[in-house]
A = this chain, B = another copy of it.
Amino acid sequence: MSRRVTARDVAKSLGISTMTVSRALNAKPNVSQITRQKVIETSKKLGYFPNQIAKSLVLKKTDTIGVVVPEITHSFFPGIISGIEEICYQNGYQLILAHSAEDSAREKDLIYTLTSQQVDGLLISTAQTVEDYSVYKQIIQRGLPLVFYDRCVRGIGASCVSIDDEESARRITLHLINHGYTRIAHLAGPQRVLIGKLRLEGFKRALKEKKLELHPELIIEAGLQEQDGYRAMQKIFELPPAQWPRAVVAVNDPAAFGAMKSIFDKGLRIPEDIAIVGFSDDIRAQLMPSPLTTIRQNAYEVGKRAVHKLIQIIEGKNTTIEDIIVKGELIIRRSCGCQNN
Contact = CB atoms under 8 A, between A and B. Distances in A.
Interface of A: 1-2, 4, 47, 49-54, 56-57, 60-62, 64, 72-73, 75, 77-79, 81-82, 85-86, 89, 94-99, 106, 110, 112-118, 120, 138, 142-144, 283-284, 287-288
Contacts of A114: 94
A95 B61 CA distance: 19
A301 to B, nearest CB: 14
B95 A96 contact: yes
A49 B96 contact: no
B118 A97 contact: no
Given A72-B78, A116-B50, A142 B106 contact: no
Contacts of A95: 96-98
Given A53-B53, A287-B287, A82 B73 contact: yes
Contacts of A61: 1
A174 to B, nearest CB: 29
15 contacts: A1-B60, A1-B61, A2-B144, A47-B142, A50-B116, A51-B116, A52-B113, A73-B78, A73-B82, A77-B78, A89-B99, A94-B114, A94-B117, A284-B284, A284-B287
Given A54-B57, A82-B99, A115 B2 contact: no
The quantity of this chain's copies bound in the complex is: 2
Specify which of A4, A53, A120 lies most central, judged by the most chain B CB atoms within 10 Å of its CB.
A53
Nearest to A120: B1
Contact of A112 (B49, B72, B284, B288): B49
Contacts of A52: 113, 116-118
Contact of A57 (B57, B73, B116): B57
Specify which of A57, A72, A75, A106 lies most central, judged by the most chain B CB atoms within 10 Å of its CB.
A72
A118 B1 contact: yes
A75 B74 CA distance: 9
Contact of A283 (B1, B2, B97, B284): B284
Contact of A56 (B53, B82, B94, B106): B53
A86 B99 CA distance: 8
A51 B78 CA distance: 30
Nearest to A282: B283
A72 B97 contact: no
A119 to B, nearest CB: 9
A288 B283 CA distance: 12
Contacts of A77: 78
A53 B117 contact: yes
B81 A72 contact: yes
Given A1-B61, A81-B72, A106 B89 contact: yes
Nearest to A79: B73
Given A49-B116, A86-B99, 19 more contacts: A1-B61, A1-B120, A51-B118, A52-B113, A52-B117, A53-B56, A53-B117, A54-B57, A72-B81, A72-B82, A73-B79, A82-B99, A85-B97, A89-B98, A89-B106, A94-B114, A283-B284, A284-B284, A284-B287
A49 B89 contact: no
A118 B117 CA distance: 13
